[in-house]
Chains A and B, each alone.
Chain A
């Protein structure tokens, strides 16, 4: 199936832990994104990579670090997790011109 797949779908972890969320797309897109869904269900962009190059880096804590080993993957690593990090995180990809957005199904992160 052609898609954007992100894993895990659910992640429950304790404060202070380090965790990663993986994202892979097999659509041949050259741009990938990470979004955070806020408490009112609005999307906030966190990072965007184009061909492994960081092009958007919104104001997010340094504890969040994206890693793009190749243009088909954009992983999100989070250090020292805090309660406020609990949210749904969406990965997406598109062509560079912003055509053909495809979103993953989301990762629901719960920090306890």
Chain B
């Protein structure tokens, strides 16, 4: 079983709408959690880095939350734009050798 589970696998929304992507993990011991945006044909862009003590962190229209007790994170996108269409990958880093564990990503499509 993957140690990082993301949902939904894919999502289609209309431009201007909000959406929330989920990431649940079992990675332990936990160091930090990162959300990446990867456009088709491009490399990943780091959106947020969440450490154990951080509950919420924003980056423009992107807001990530972290509940380290339930091992859940979410990425909320506000007022979506066509350029938000991409895959969003959740990555959890463990203190054990700084191992990285990857979610399968959520493919977001924003339609006009």
Does chain A bind chain B?
yes
- Asked if B10 CB lies within 8 Å of chain A CBs, one says yes
Among the 9-residue stretches A18-26, A67-75, A78-86, A100-108, the one with 4 or more Cβ atoms under 8 Å from chain B is A100-108
**Which chain B residue shows the least CB distance to A98?**
B87
Q: Say which size band chain B's interface belongs to.
A: 20 to 34
Interface size range on A against B: 20 to 34
Can you offer 29 A-B residue contacts whose CB atoms are under 8 A? A37-B100, A41-B34, A42-B46, A43-B36, A43-B43, A43-B91, A45-B38, A45-B43, A48-B41, A55-B41, A56-B42, A56-B43, A90-B100, A92-B102, A94-B87, A96-B40, A97-B40, A98-B107, A99-B9, A99-B87, A99-B105, A100-B104, A101-B89, A101-B102, A101-B103, A101-B104, A101-B105, A102-B102, A102-B104
